[in-house]
Amino acid sequence: MSRREHKPGTDFVEPDLPITPMLDMSFQLLAFFILTFNPAPTEGQIALALPQDKGGPSNQIPSVVEADKPMHFIIRVSAADNGTIEKLTVQEADTVTPARDIPASVAEFRDEVKRLAAQVAQAKKPAGGKLTLEIGDKLLQEYVVQLVDQGIRAGFNDISPVPLNKK
Amino acid sequence: MSHGGSDKCEPNLVPLLDLVLQLVMFFMLCANFVLEQTSVAIVLPKAIAAKALTQAESYTIFLNVDEKGRVLLAAADQYKDSEGRVTESLDNAAQVLTFLRRRAQEDRNAVGAAANADAPLRSVIILRVHKLCPFEKTYPIMFACRQAGYTRVQLRALFDGSTD
């Protein structure tokens, strides 16, 4: 059995940990991550009201009271062959008001849905407003999202995209 | 003027190392890892009203739709057909409907047999549609979601910070 003891008067030797190689490696890692740093763009969701399916469960209980029905507007969006907006037509559903054309641009659409949202607010309907977008087959998703986006920003919570001439 | 003694003057590198390791950790955590369920091939449109997923929407099904209207399946969702070939994409609405009906059944099984059959399904469907995909390709997929019993469907977009 051996027993080690510090001899009196012997200096204590502190272990020397080499920091420099570790620092070199850390700098290399840092350089790698800085060079490959590419922050992901922020993605978000836009909620949709899907078209009704016969026999399927309904999102909303149908209202029997006329006053509880939301103000329902239909905007028809015709698409050009290149997928852009060709024509915009606005009509209030369940009324005899004739459909009217508005200039075919997202900016005009925005102004129009703002006017419609103001109309809904003025009517003070508890159910609010409903917007149906009847969309042409060729319209690109880019424009579909822009139209839904403008509708939500104007204050419509119930926006349902359906194909043009089909309900 | 002379320096007394033979002591070496060494800079203290430990705080520098601490700082560098913290920076390394920051960049590692912020690294852009490829998400399992999303496809980098899909170029999303921009929207200002897009909102982040909430805590209530913890069950999600991602449908990545390319510009030709095909649904690109994530690795976990790929399956073998009757001939043993791996299906990586769903090319038409009928295939999407079959896929979603299977997922809907899995959702119902996960909740348990005691759950009300008419109760809304727990998953939210997130449509990641390429910005150049025409509406005639997107709409049948939306309609298939509805037919499969999913009532909560959301369109994914890149958050656009500009005010207008």
* Residue B42: CB atoms within 10 Å: 18
Among A11-20, A46-55, A75-84, B50-59, the minimum mean pLDDT is found in A46-55
pLDDT by residue (tens digit) across A96-147?
Answer: 778 889 898 999 999 999 999 998 888 877 777 889 999 999 999 999 999 9
Chain B, 6-25: which have a CB under 8 Å from a chain A CB? 13-14, 16-17, 20-21, 23-24
Q: Are the CB atoms for B89 and B64 separated by under 8 Å?
A: no
Q: Is residue A8 part of a domain?
A: no
Mention every residue, 6+ apart, whose C-beta is less than 8 A from residue A130: A49, A70, A71, A72, A73, A156, A158, A159, A160
Q: Does a structural domain hold residue A105? A: yes
pLDDT at residue A54, as a whole number: 47
Q: How far is CA B10 from CA A90, B4, B14, B15, B17, in A?
A: 78, 16, 12, 13, 15
Average pLDDT, chain A: 81
- Residue A165, sorted as left (phi over 0), alpha (psi -120 to 50) or beta, turns out to be left
Contacts for A98 with CB less than 8 Å, ≥ 6 apart? A91
Which is more confident, B138 or B160? B138
Residues A53, B142: contact at Cβ < 8 Å?
no
Task: Identify the pLDDT of residue A38.
Answer: 76
Q: What one-letter code names the amino acid at A147?
A: L
Which chain B positions have a beta carbon within 8 Å of A46's beta carbon?
Answer: 47, 49-51, 154-157
Q: Which domain holds residue A156?
A: 69-163
Contacts with B96 (C-beta within 8 Å, 6 or more apart), sequence order: B63, B71, B90, B140, B141, B144
DSSP H helices, chain B, are 14-29, 93-111, 135-147
Cα angle value A137/A138/A141 (rounded, 5°): 100
Mutation for testing the A interface, residue in B61, B100, B135 having most A CBs under 10 Å: B135
**Residue A84 domain flag:** yes
In this prediction, residue A167 has a pLDDT band, given cuts at 50, 70 and 90, of very low
> Rg of the Cα trace of chain A?
32
Give the ipTM: 0.75
Task: Name chain B contacts of A51, Cβ cutoff 8 Å.
Answer: 142-143, 146
If one counts the domains in chain A, the total is 1
Q: Predicted confidence band at B34 (pLDDT cuts at 50, 70, 90)?
A: low
What is the Cα–Cα distance from A121 to A111, expressed in whole angstroms?
15
Q: What distance in Å separates residue A65's CA from the closest CA in chain B?
A: 24
Residue B31 with chain A: CB contacts under 8 Å: 33, 36-37
The answer to whether residue A133 sits within a structural domain is yes
Number of Cβ within 10 Å of residue A138's Cβ equals 16
| Nearest in space to A43 (alpha carbons), one of B57, B43, B36 | B43
Better-predicted residue by pLDDT, B69 or B51? B69
**A43 residue type, one letter:** E
Give the angle subtended at the CA of B137 by the CAs of A159 and A140, to the nearest 5°.
Answer: 65
pLDDT-derived band of residue B117, with 50, 70 and 90 as boundaries? low
Q: Which of B44, B53, B149 sits opposite A56 (nearest CB)?
A: B149
- Greater confidence (A49 vs B5) lies with A49
**Between these two residues, B143 and B112, which has the higher pLDDT value?**
B143
Q: Is residue A49 part of a domain?
A: no
Percent of chain B past pLDDT 90, that is, above it, reads 20
Q: Indicate which CATH number applies to the domain containing A155.
A: 3.30.420.270
Q: Of B84 and B150, which is predicted with more confidence? A: B150
Q: Kindly state the DSSP code that residue B44 receives in the 8-state scheme.
A: P
Residue found by looking up tokens 């969701």 in the block: A45
Q: Is B142 on the interface with A (CB under 8 A)?
A: yes
How wide is the angle at C-alpha A151 spanned by C-alphas B138 and A87, nearest 5°?
70
Residue A132, classed as helix, strand or coil, is strand
B155 lies within 8 A of chain A by CB? yes
Q: Which site among A43, A61, A156 would you substitute to test the B interface, given the most B Cβ atoms closer than 10 Å to its Cβ?
A: A43
